[in-house]
Amino acid sequence: MYQHDVLVIGAGLAGMRAAIEASRMGADVAVITKVHPVRSHSNAAQGGINAAMGGEGSDDTWELHAYDTVKGSDWLGDQDSIEVMAKEAPQDIFELEHMGVIFARDEFGRLATRAFGGASKQRTFYVGDITGQALLHVMYEQLLKAGMRVYEEWFVLSLIKEEGECAGAVAMNMMTGDIEVIRAKAVIMAAGGIGRVYEPSTNGLICTGDGMALAYRIGAPMMDMEMVQYHPTTLKGNGALLTEGARGEGAYLINKDGDRFMKKYAPNKMELASRDVVSRSEAIEIQEGRGVDGCVYLDCRHLGEKLIRQRLGQIAELALEFANVDIVKNPVPIRPGMHYIMGGIKTNADGASYVPGLFAAGECANVSIHGGNRLGANSLLETVVFGRRSGKAAVEFARSKAKPVRISETMLVEQQKAKIQKLMDQPYPGYTSARVRLEMGKIMDKHVSVFRTEQGMKEAGDTILRLMQQYHKLSVRDHGKVYNWNLFSTLELENMLDVAEATCMSALARKESRGAHSRLDFPDRNDKEWMKHTLVYKAEGGPKIDYLPVVITQWPPERRTY
Amino acid sequence: MKTVNLKVKRFDPATRKSKFQDYQVEVDDSAAVLDAIIEVREYQDETLAVRCSCRSAICGSCAMRVNGHAKLACMTKVSSVSPNGETIVVEPLGNAEPVKDLVADMGPFWAKVKQVQPWLKPSLPAPDREYIAPQEAMQDLVGAVNCIMCGACVSDCTVLEVDKNFIGPAALAKAYRFVGDPRETQTARDERLSQLSKYGGIWDCTHCYECVQVCPKDVAPMERILDIRRAAVAAGFRDNNGTRHSDSFARSVKHTGSLDEFRLLPESLGLDDIAAQLKFVPTALRAIAKGKVPSPLHHKRPGAEHVTRIFDEMEKE
Ligand SMILES: Cc1cc2nc3c(=O)[nH]c(=O)nc-3n(C[C@H](O)[C@H](O)[C@H](O)COP(=O)(O)OP(=O)(O)OC[C@H]3O[C@@H](n4cnc5c(N)ncnc54)[C@H](O)[C@@H]3O)c2cc1C
């Protein structure tokens, strides 16, 4: 048995930032992660991180950043949280710089910015097109500097709930197969996104919604799970992402006739309208026959080779490697692809969920910054701002607590062992967990995607229920103890199915179009009835839906045009 | 679609034995080697272990040996390593112990990264805003920061094969990222250079270029090692075999037009360090027995004065 004041689950940007804050406050803190910290998916962020820095020669303000975010969210973001983020952003960027991030500079050696979608000012700080990688590795350096305890390549199986409070986790050491109890006075969930619930997705294979499902199972509600972002520029072949930074640097979107079609849909912001808007425009172009092979094009040719090499090197490499296109010379075929989940474990601005002792930050949390649609480069910002804040709040919570009560450790371990043994004992049903996942991913991508209908979403919901039945017959055929991928991927599938079900149910319930939730049968936003959050609780007999008002501080709803 | 023949080196942690296993799968024409491996583990043999995540060459999980050389499996096209359907041989990374199948023990790798104290040591107190730093300096570091710590370079490092004490190309490239950072203090930089000049550090690289060739992100670790050497020599860290070795090399070529191999070893070790030289006596005796000792009589080559002149010109610059 292990014991800490604070246990952070996840070593992406949010988790590591939370852990560093907790350790600065003198708490005994540990991080647990199913992959080495620098393998976390924060790596994949290319474009940058937002902050309204103001300063010499800039007329940007935190209010403008907040307003852009509110508008981007289609008025579903909570304005109190958004204010916190926009106000605190500059200090967090400076801190990242002080930690060692090699942000791009202007001619005076100060931090440089680039343009990004949905923003009224240029306020995105970046490192070439490897911003996430640059940040993640620096955060890991800080973790090493702090001498943090890291349970590396440990898989969290369940959260411990004692007398209504979260009191640690049960996890498997992936290298030995041993199941251990790690007790903590406070737990911070920072386990990232759900990409693999969809097929295809820009997300890595490790983005399986574990954190959300684990929290959901101990009674923490998820919020706005219907809000799933499709990114406008994903590669045709493998669904890899080409950063919005490309359009920030001036790249065009063109259809098969070479037309910059965004002039029809967003005459002012053109290619840099909000993502939901651009993705819908592309989908319409493709549907109406102005695409090629289910795609439109991202055109970088006019940017010139030098700029492309210096600032868009990684996407030039991706396009060449994975689509065989040299973006210096040719437009590259792209299409909207599943990218991000705005929804997540409902928290307040200090990361506290509805279960005392359980905090959450990063993509698995929903502090309600992004509402119906996330602005590019706001998510990295969310990880550091709310990672830091939840780290602090978790320590304060832990300090207020006496010694935890103790459910028998053996019982906690035996429960997990029994569950795993059952999976191993079952006869092979004729299909693998990958087959089930693929069917789930395809149906979600078909019906709970850019455009949605009642009928489609019902079909998706029914399919998920059927797949849940199939899940219970799955057999784990690898009986080894060491690095048993067969076992982990099966457990991940269980998590993904829970998330998929919650997403379908939340989406079916919202009878309007807002942000990324665009319904052909309810095409308009309906502020009168639907300016509210969807909460989803796990319950016997299926998810239970509830609602919560949106927090408005100073920006009442407006018509949203770009 | 096309058929891929994979020969996978599998390691069984229970018996601690390795064996090759053949698989045949159908994949897309544009598939990467990793796609083929994933196809195997998802539909044919769920017991096959491999680390992978992003499939876009950024997370660094899937480095392994493909046909004998370290590569990121996700960015290695099947068509490039098997243009005519040849069998593709995949093995775990070299210079590492296997854990299971293609999963290698990265513990020693990370321990070496830690050894170079990989965090910025800037001048304090920090400014209210950012440190002012020239874009060129930051852009120069992008090359090193590009490193995704996949371990390909370490896998194929020829020095590590014979000397486990070598810090290795990945950790040294990481060290360069700080040595080259204008925000570090002079003291921190000097301390790094002094540490890195010791046994196991920058002077133990033999310039075999393997790391440059296998690096999937063009980090060119060996070039970074050379960059640190230049910085170390310029900062006056000359009291080490490496610096003496290159000085001896240059001196004999400059004055005689060719390398005086007989003097190279004692000069590298330091002419006054008799103890260090004595350690090489057995090796020298064996070399003499095999007739491999260079002649102590080193003659000036005809035209050596031209070489001297080239040296003089260069030194003036
Ligand atoms: C291709 C791409 C590009 C992007 N570009 C940008 C951008 O330019 N700007 C921007 O702001 N945002 C961008 N985003 C979004 C942003 O990168 C992510 O939302 C953010 O990095 C998520 O960070 P995180 O710390 O919440 O999670 P992650 O970095 O995903 O980390 C999750 C952690 O949880 C751990 N974990 C998960 N499950 C378990 C378990 N069961 N047991 C133990 N550990 C577990 C994992 O090991 C991992 O360490 C992009 C996303 C993608 C996919």
- CA distance linking residue A452 with residue A561, whole number of Å: 21
pLDDT at B266 (0 to 100): 83
Cβ-contact A385, A84 below 8 angstroms: yes
Domain boundary among A337, A354, A387: A337
Q: Is A275 a catalytic residue?
A: yes
The alpha carbon of residue B315 is apart from the nearest alpha carbon of chain A, in Å, by 33
| Residue having the nearest C-alpha atom to atom 5 of ligand 1 | A45
Q: Considering the domain boundaries, does residue A48 fall inside one?
A: no
pLDDT at A112 (0 to 100): 95
Domain boundary among A337, A361, A384: A337
> Which of 3.40.50.12140, 3.40.50.10800, 1.10.1060.10, 3.30.1490.20 would CATH assign to domain B107-234?
1.10.1060.10
Q: Hey, what are A562's tokens?
A: 């770009």
Domain ranges of chain B: 2-104, 107-234, 241-316
Cβ of A124 below 6 Å from ligand 1: no
Cβ-contact A330, A251 below 8 angstroms: no
Residue of B nearest to A323 (CA): B30
pLDDT at A405 (0 to 100): 63
pLDDT class of B299 with cuts at 50, 70, 90? confident
Q: How many distinct helices (H) and strands (E) make up chain B?
A: 15, 7
CB contact under 8 A, A434 and B146: no
Question: Which atom of ligand 1 is nearest to A363's Cα?
Answer: 26
| Residue having the nearest C-alpha atom to atom 44 of ligand 1 | A33
CATH number of B2-104: 3.10.20.30
Q: In what order do the strands lie in the sheet with A124-125?
A: A49-50, A124-125, A113-114
Residue range of the domain that includes A512: 409-543
Max Cα-Cα span within chain B: 71
Query: Which of A379, A381, A390 gets mutated to test ligand 1 (max ligand atoms within 8 A of its CB)?
Result: A379
CB contact under 8 A, B56 and A322: yes
- CA distance linking residue A391 with residue A379, whole number of Å: 17
Distance of CA A4 to the CA centre of its chain: 27
A10: left (phi over 0), alpha (psi -120 to 50) or beta: left
A362: left (phi over 0), alpha (psi -120 to 50) or beta: left
By Cβ distance, the residue of B59, B118, B148 closest to A141 is B118
Residue A449's CATH number: 1.20.58.100
Question: Quick one: average pLDDT of B283-303?
Answer: 85
pLDDT of residue B94 exceeding 90: yes
CB contact under 8 A, B130 and A39: no
Phi, psi for A46 (deg, rounded to 5): -105, -50
Q: Hey, what are A520's tokens?
A: 């052909």
Spell out where A249-400 has E strands. 252-254, 296-299, 332-341, 344-346, 358-360, 365-366
- CA distance linking residue B76 with residue B32, whole number of Å: 5
pLDDT class of B248 with cuts at 50, 70, 90? confident
Neighbouring residues of B232: CB distance < 8 A, sequence distance ≥ 6:
B193, B194, B196, B197, B202, B243
| Residue having the nearest C-alpha atom to atom 6 of ligand 1 | A45
pLDDT digits (tens, 9 = 90+) for B12-42: 999 999 999 999 999 998 899 999 999 999 9
Question: Which atom of ligand 1 is nearest to A37's Cα?
Answer: 49
| Residue having the nearest C-alpha atom to atom 27 of ligand 1 | A192
Q: Considering the domain boundaries, does residue A4 fall inside one?
A: no
By Cβ distance, the residue of A43, A99, A435 closest to B59 is A43
pLDDT digits (tens, 9 = 90+) for B112-171: 999 999 999 999 899 999 999 999 999 999 999 999 999 999 999 999 999 999 999 999
pLDDT of residue B58 exceeding 90: yes
Burial A115-151 (b: 16+ CB within 10 A, else e): bbbbbebebbbbbbbbbbbbbbbbbbbbbbbbebbbb
Residue of A114, A123, A247, A275 marked catalytic:
A275
Q: Considering the domain boundaries, does residue A82 fall inside one?
A: no
Which residue, among A120, A124, A122, A118, has the nearest Cα to A57 in the 3D structure? A122
Q: Considering the domain boundaries, does residue A36 fall inside one?
A: no
pLDDT digits (tens, 9 = 90+) for B168-204: 999 999 999 999 999 999 999 999 999 999 999 999 9
The CA A10 to ligand 1 mean position distance, Å, reads 9
CB contact under 8 A, A43 and B148: yes
Q: Which chain A residues contact residue B61 at CB under 8 A?
A: 35, 39
The CA A404 to ligand 1 mean position distance, Å, reads 31
pLDDT at B265 (0 to 100): 83
By Cβ distance, the residue of B13, B120, B148 closest to A100 is B120
Q: Considering the domain boundaries, does residue A442 fall inside one?
A: yes
pLDDT at A404 (0 to 100): 61
The alpha carbon of residue B19 is apart from the nearest alpha carbon of chain A, in Å, by 17
On whether both A456 and A539 belong to a single domain, the answer is yes
CB contact under 8 A, A317 and B57: yes
CB contact under 8 A, A94 and B128: yes
pLDDT at B174 (0 to 100): 98
Residue of A nearest to B47 (CA): A478
Cβ of A210 below 6 Å from ligand 1: yes
- CA distance linking residue B177 with residue B189, whole number of Å: 11
Domain boundary among A315, A337, A359: A337
Q: Hey, what are B105's tokens?
A: 């023990």
The CA A379 to ligand 1 mean position distance, Å, reads 9
The CA A495 to ligand 1 mean position distance, Å, reads 16
CB contact under 8 A, B43 and A432: yes
On whether both A299 and A420 belong to a single domain, the answer is no
Phi, psi for B22 (deg, rounded to 5): -95, 140
C-alpha dist (Å) from residue B313 to B247, B254, B300, B304: 17, 12, 20, 14
Q: Up-side HSE of residue B199: CA atoms within 13 Å toward CB?
A: 4
The alpha carbon of residue B44 is apart from the nearest alpha carbon of chain A, in Å, by 9
Query: How many domains in chain A?
Result: 2
- Angle between helix B241-256 and B261-269 (nearest 10): 150
Which residue, among A347, A387, A350, A395, has the nearest Cα to A6 in the 3D structure? A395
Q: Hey, what are A557's tokens?
A: 């709803």
Q: Which chain B residues contact residue A142 at CB under 8 A?
A: 119
Q: Which chain B residues contact residue A322 at CB under 8 A?
A: 30, 56
pLDDT at B282 (0 to 100): 86
pLDDT at A321 (0 to 100): 81
Cβ of A11 below 6 Å from ligand 1: yes
- CA distance linking residue A420 with residue A177, whole number of Å: 11
Query: Which of A338, A363, A382 gets mutated to test ligand 1 (max ligand atoms within 8 A of its CB)?
Result: A363
Which residue, among A182, A170, A184, has the nearest Cα to A401 in the 3D structure? A184
Question: Which atom of ligand 1 is nearest to A361's Cα?
Answer: 26
On whether both A530 and A426 belong to a single domain, the answer is yes
* Beta bridge mates, B3: B26
Stretches in chain A below the pLDDT threshold 50: none
Q: Considering the domain boundaries, does residue A109 fall inside one?
A: no
pLDDT digits (tens, 9 = 90+) for B206-240: 999 999 999 999 999 999 999 999 999 999 998 88
